[in-house]
Amino acid sequence: MAPTQANAAFVWRQFIDLSCSNSKKSKRYRCRHCQKDFAATSVGRPKEHLAACEKWQAKQRQERQAQDSAGYLPSYSEAIQKKITEVGIQHISQDESHSYAYGATAAVIAGGGPFSLFESRRWRYFFTRIKPGWKPPSRAAITRILPGFYQELYGEVSKRITSSEWFNIIFDASDNVSGHRIVNISVQLPDGPAFWKTFGHRRRTAHSGELGDADMVLFILRSSAG
């Protein structure tokens, strides 16, 4: 059974069909949880009802609390089934969605994580739980956000370095666990590190091409020379 068909079947199981078989009229259904009756011709109306049904939502909260207490992590199919009825008609604005995507991108880059981090179904389920209606950025979306974030980061680091009376530039070469030569470059200010980067034996590291770390290092060297 296709995922969309399975999802629809899950929704319909929450209702009792009250109508006689008549294709010319809308069928009537009764919610198994709140006993409310309504007419529907597709799965859209039942989904909207479940999203607003207080008894259904209360049942879902109780199940989540019990699962969390037991350390239970649902399967992918279970997560999808819950999502279609918990999210329902909830929406967030485009500006809010972009703001979250920008913040998520900044967190990935600052932490050195892979651009595909949020493509994991576990991450997507987690964000569905804390912010229904929002999807974390894909690898392609993060790549599109990179230029704007880099300019912000570059400006922040530049401001910190130029406003400091002194700073130290530290170059440290060593071998990593794979036996490859690496070079660590860091700039230390009185209140802590302002910038650091590890360059490997390859010409491009995971983020160096997109973030323009070479430009950052040149800026640091020129600042120290001046």
pLDDT tens-digit readout, 31-57:
999 999 988 888 888 888 888 888 888
Whole-number percent of the chain with pLDDT over 90: 4
For residue 177, which phi and psi values (nearest 5 degrees)? -65, -20
Give residue-wise pLDDT tens across range 145-171: 888 888 887 787 778 777 777 777 777
Looking at residue 196, what is its pLDDT? 64
Residues 6+ apart with CB under 8 A from 130: none
The tokens for 19 are: 């109508």
pTM: predicted TM-score of the whole model, two decimal places = 0.43
Render the burial of 30-59: b for 16+ CB within 10 Å, e for the rest.
Answer: ebebeeeebebeebeebbebbbebeebbee
The tokens for 74 are: 């649902």
The tokens for 7 are: 């999802």
What's the CA gap between 14 and 34, in Å, rounded? Answer: 10
Mean pLDDT of 18-43: 81
Return the minimum-mean-pLDDT range out of 28-32, 45-49, 83-87: 83-87
40 forms bridges with which residues in the sheet? 27
Closest CA to 101 of 69, 150, 140, 65: 140
Kind and range of the H or E run holding 40: strand 37-40
What's the CA gap between 101 and 103, in Å, rounded? Answer: 5
The tokens for 221 are: 């060297």
